[in-house]
Each structure stands twice: as C-alpha cells, then as structure tokens.
C-alpha cells in the first residue's frame, strides 16, 4: 500500500470501492456510446461524423462580447446574483415569441427556464416517473433522453418510425400491449422535427393522430424540439404543443440556434403541471444561471436572431448536401440512409451481417468516426445502423470522411462474404424497423 492511499478491504476485488453503496438507480447510469467516442473522435486526424456539436463559427463574437460587457456594467448586481427558479421574466416572454413561430401560444407563467433542455428532460422524468413506469420513445431515440430515463429506472419501449416519423399504428400497438400487460405508460417522448438520430420529421398529417391516440390512453406527450427552427428551406412545422396545450409538455433550447455553452433551455408545461416543475427545478439547481439568461435575452432583443438562424440553416444545408452526395457516390450496395431536410443527422443502415459497433475500431483506425446504432436504443437493437452527423466538420472534411467510411464498409462486406459473420457480428442484437427511405 502506498502512503496516503486508503487500505484495500479484504476480498474487495471491484475497481470501484463504492459499488455496494450506490443507490439502485445508479446502475442505469452508464457512459453513452457518444461520450465513449468523444476522446478518440476529437483527435485532429479523425473526421468525426460522430458528435452532435453545433457549429458556432458564424456567431457575431465581437458583438456578443460588447453585449456581455454592457450587461455586467449596467445590470451586474442582478446578473451575478441568484434569480428565481422559474427564470428571468423578460426572457420567458421572449421565449414565448420564439415559440409563436411554431404556432405555440404559451403563457410565460407556464414556462420554466432550465439548464439546457437536458435539464428539462430530467425534471419531467423526475416528476412523472416511478421506477418501472413505461416511457414510450421513438426507435431510435436521443441518447441523452435514454440516459435520463434509465437513471430514473423507467422502462423504455421503442415505437417504430418510418420516413414520416413515428408510426401511429405502432404507437397504438405499444399502448395496447402495455394496457394488456396491466402496465402504466407515463408519457410518449418524441422529437418530431429533424429527429436525433434518425433525421426524419413527423408528417404534419400524423401529428393530430398521435396526439389523439395519446389523449385517449391518458398518456402525456413530451415534445423535444431543439432543431425545429433548423429546416433547410426555412420551413417550420407546427408544434404538437400548438395542437394540444393540455396534454403536451414542450421542451426547447437555444443550444442549436444560438450557443450551446450558455446552457439555456426551457419547458412549457400545461398550467396544472407548472408548479411541480418549478419546485423540481428549484430542488435541482435553485435557479438557472442569471447571467446566461440575460445574455440570451439581450441577444434576442438586439440581434437579428432570425437572420442568424437563416445563416445556420444554409451552413448546415451545405454540410448535409456534402454528406448525402458522398454517400450516393461512395457507399457500397445494400446501404440505405435517411435524407433529412433539417437538423444535424443522417441515419444509415448497412447490409445484413455487418455490425457497426464491431466495425467501429476499424473505422477509427481509418480516421473516421460515427456512432453505432445500438446507443440509440434501450434494448440492444441498432447493430446494423449508425448515426452520421454533418453539423460540425466543413463540407470537404465530410466528403473525405464519407470516402474513408465507405472503404471501411466495403472491406467489411468483402470479409463478410469471404469468411461469414465474425463472433461479435453474430452476437449482435436483433433488428427492428428503422426509418429508411430506400
Ligand atoms: C433531441 C435533443 N434533446 C435535447 C438535447 C439537449 O440539448 P441542450 O443543449 O438544450 O441541453 C439534445 C442535444 O443534442 C438533443 O439532440
């Protein structure tokens, strides 16, 4: 034993000496595949099609630094002080104006500012889910949400999507199955626009049907919409919340339309839920950071934020085009992928027998990174899928990354044809319907 180190307990062989102490819910807290990849994918020689980091290069940094300085000078004693758990009142009003673009007519009192929409996800799960409660989520779904649901010991059941988003028939079937098993479904978690990771959008004519099905089954809808204003043709789809104010909690964020590092998001809840949400927010963080809220508020008041979003849209459109044309040009036969009209992500399905997780080290060796599909399912599906992000690398790097990925895949398929599936491939999980447009 080295001096200063705690003595090893007899028989304690675990690497983590606290293993026996953790609450049961900690067992569901594991590193996501995205996080595990982060270190390796951020090496400069690797083209990362893995991360979902927004590209902030187009932000007016000089203007922002002047504004931040003036906030500290003019309102420093407020900006650096605790605030209300509910959020800064002016910002809440401004957020309502932002949501009005999607047809939402919420009242600022029913809106809670959070530390990113990730915190809002945590709060809604905290106030609604007991261990074992069922949460329905699209298959595949956002990794961060799956992590939150797991940490509250919710039982996630995936609902299939196609190229038009969540399939209403599959939703009915999932609700019927839960009912038959005598299980309680607490909410449907959906990302209707430019979904993470699938890149598909829920067809407008499906939205009312999805809401109707949930209302009939007395199931709340959590609408997570961080990408809604990033439609590449400037199109804005009507929010689910605009169609049903009583049964939808809308989660929004400035992470993709302004600055992710400020960590400003929000939840707009039905009036009856608002108080619990504020109490939960208070117990989680006392209040969201006042300075950051004032920065967002000042930005909305003084900058052409809609023009800024337009420039983000065209930057991401160019990157999406580079990714899609690279895929068309280089991918071997048998690969299919989605064609997003907004957001950050393409979802690709590879030929039968290829395991995207087993292939990942070879891809990184070839200096390209992606996220294997299994990370986006709570139940082991997704071994033939991968998420490709086009948000961060410039177009020419994206093209190079796709070329590298295509040669890794081509080699993998040749190996497969010659030697059959490797052990790891044959151990991969079963497949589920995924949103292919092919
Ligand atoms: C679908 C979805 N929801 C929520 C978040 C969390 O965003 P925020 O930065 O607002 O916490 C993300 C981030 O990538 C996301 O993709």
Q: State the pLDDT at residue 35.
A: 66
The yes-or-no verdict on residue 350 having pLDDT over 90 is yes
pLDDT at position 13 is 54
Q: What's the 341 CA to ligand 1 centre distance in angstroms?
A: 18
Mean pLDDT in residue range 119-145: 97
- Smallest CA separation from ligand 1 atom 16, residue: 196
Task: Report the share of the chain in percent with pLDDT over 90.
Answer: 84
**Residue 424's pLDDT band (boundaries 50, 70, 90)?**
very low
Strand pairing category for 248-253 and 220-224? parallel
The residues pairing with 388 across neighbouring beta strands, listed in sequence order, are 346
Which atom of ligand 1 is nearest to 117's Cα? 10
Q: State the Cα–Cα distance between residues 227 and 219, nearest whole angstrom.
A: 24
**CA of 343 relative to ligand 1 center, distance in Å:** 12
Give the mean pLDDT of 391-399: 96
Mean pLDDT score of the chain: 92
pLDDT tens for residues 161-183? 999 999 999 999 999 999 999 99
Mean pLDDT of 98-121: 97
What is the whole-number distance in angstroms between the Cα of residue 227 and the centre of ligand 1? 9
Exposure class string for 179-207: b at 16+ Cβ within 10 A, else e: eeeeeebbbbbbbbbbbbbbbbbbbeebb
**421 pLDDT more than 90:** no
For each of the domains in the chain, give its residue range(s) and CATH number, in order of start: 23-58+307-419 (3.90.1150.10), 83-302 (3.40.640.10)
Nearest to 241 by CA among 95, 373, 353, 142: 95
- Rounded to the nearest angstrom, the distance between the alpha carbon of 37 and the centre of ligand 1 is 18
From 159, 261, 253, 142, select the one nearest 206 (Cα to Cα): 159
**Interval 298-310 mean pLDDT:** 97
Query: Do the beta carbons of residue 128 and residue 188 sit within 8 Å?
Result: no
Average the pLDDT over 102-115 and give the result. Answer: 97
Q: Is the pLDDT of residue 14 over 70?
A: no
Question: 173: how many CB neighbours lie within 10 A of its CB?
Answer: 13
Strand ranges in 269-417 using DSSP code E only, listed in sequence order: 336-337, 345-349, 368-369, 371-372, 385-389
430 has pLDDT over 70: no
139 C-alpha vs ligand 1 centroid, how far in Å? Answer: 17
At 185 the three-state DSSP class reads strand
Q: Which of 113, 116, 222 to mutate to test the pocket of ligand 1 (most atoms within 8 A of CB)?
A: 116
pLDDT of residue 89: 98
- Per-residue pLDDT at 28: 79
Q: Determine the average pLDDT of the residues in 196-208.
A: 98
DSSP track, 126-166:
HHH--TT-EEEEEES--HHHHHHHHHTT-EEEEEEEETTEE
CA of 6 to the centre of ligand 1 (A): 40
Higher-pLDDT residue of 26 and 71 is: 71
Q: In whole angstroms, give the CA distance from residue 312 to residue 182.
A: 47
Do residues 221 and 249 touch, judged by C-beta distance below 8 A? yes
Q: Is the pLDDT of residue 433 over 80?
A: no
DSSP code per residue over 199-252: -----HHHHHHHHHHHHHTT-EEEEE-TTTT-BTTS--PPPGGGT-SSSEEEEE
Rounded to a whole number of angstroms, the distance between the first and last alpha carbons of the chain is 61
Best residue among 55, 118, 125 to mutate for probing ligand 1's pocket (most ligand atoms within 8 Å of CB) is 118
Choice among 55-59, 122-126, 395-399 with the minimum mean pLDDT: 55-59
- Report whether pLDDT(435) > 80: no
Residues with CB under 6 Å of ligand 1 are: 52, 116-118, 142, 144, 191, 196, 224, 226, 253, 255, 260, 265
Query: At what angle are helices 33-41 and 356-365 packed, to 10 degrees?
Result: 10
Question: Quick one: pLDDT band at residue 243, thresholds 50, 70, 90?
Answer: very high
Task: Dump pLDDT digits (tens) for 273-293.
Answer: 999 999 999 999 999 999 999
Given this model, what pLDDT does residue 279 score? 97
State pLDDT tens for residues 204-236: 999 999 999 999 999 999 999 999 999 999 999
1 band by pLDDT with thresholds 50, 70 and 90: very low
- Nearest to 136, CA basis, from 99, 179, 102: 179
Average pLDDT over residues 88-110: 97
Pocket test for ligand 1, best of 226, 227, 228, 249 (most atoms within 8 A of CB): 226
State in Å: Cα 116 to ligand 1 middle. Answer: 7
* Helix/strand/coil percentages in the chain, nearest 5: 45, 15, 40
């Amino acid at each position: 034993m080295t001096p200063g180190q705690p003595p090893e307990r007899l028989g304690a062989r675990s690497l983590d000496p606290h293993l026996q102490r953790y609450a049961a819910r900690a067992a569901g807290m594991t590193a996501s595949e995205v996080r595990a990849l982060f270190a390796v994918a951020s090496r400069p020689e690797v083209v990362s099609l893995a991360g979902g980091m927004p590209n902030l290069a187009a932000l007016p940094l000089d203007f922002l630094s002047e504004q931040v300085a003036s906030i500290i000078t003019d309102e420093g004693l407020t900006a650096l002080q605790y605030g209300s758990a509910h959020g800064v009142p002016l910002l809440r009003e401004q957020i309502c104006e932002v949501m009005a673009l999607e047809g939402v007519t919420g009242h600022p009192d029913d809106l809670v500012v959070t530390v990113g929409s990730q915190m809002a996800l945590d709060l809604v799960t905290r106030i609604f889910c007991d261990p074992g409660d069922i949460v329905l989520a699209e298959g595949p779904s956002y990794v961060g949400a799956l992590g939150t649901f797991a940490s509250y010991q919710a039982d996630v059941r995936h609902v299939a999507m196609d190229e038009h988003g969540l399939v209403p028939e599959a939703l009915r079937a999932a609700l019927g199955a839960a009912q038959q098993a005598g299980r309680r479904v607490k909410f449907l978690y959906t990302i209707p626009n430019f979904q993470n990771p699938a890149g598909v959008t829920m067809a407008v004519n499906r939205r009312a049907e999805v809401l109707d099905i949930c209302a009939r089954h007395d199931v709340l809808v959590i609408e997570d919409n961080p990408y809604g204003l990033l439609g590449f043709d400037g199109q804005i789809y009507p929010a689910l919340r605009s169609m049903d104010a009583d049964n939808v909690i809308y989660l929004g964020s400035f992470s993709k339309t302004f600055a992710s590092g400020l960590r400003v998001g929000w939840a707009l809840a039905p009036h009856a839920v608002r108080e619990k949400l504020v109490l939960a927010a208070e117990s989680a963080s006392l209040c969201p950071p006042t300075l950051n809220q004032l920065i967002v508020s000042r930005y909305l008041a003084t900058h052409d934020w809609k023009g800024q979003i337009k420039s983000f849209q065209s930057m991401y459109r160019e990157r999406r085009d580079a990714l899609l044309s690279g895929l068309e040009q280089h991918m071997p036969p048998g690969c299919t992928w989605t064609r997003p009209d907004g957001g950050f992500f393409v979802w690709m399905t590879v030929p039968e027998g290829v395991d995207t997780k087993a292939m990942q080290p070879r891809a990184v060796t070839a200096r390209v990174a992606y996220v294997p599909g299994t990370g986006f399912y709570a139940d082991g599906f997704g071994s033939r899928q991968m998420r490709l992000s086009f948000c961060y690398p410039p177009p020419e790097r994206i093209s190079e990354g796709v070329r590298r990925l295509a040669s890794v895949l081509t080699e993998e398929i040749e190996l497969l044809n010659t030697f059959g599936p490797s052990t790891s491939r044959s151990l991969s999980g079963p497949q589920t319907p995924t949103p292919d447009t092919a």
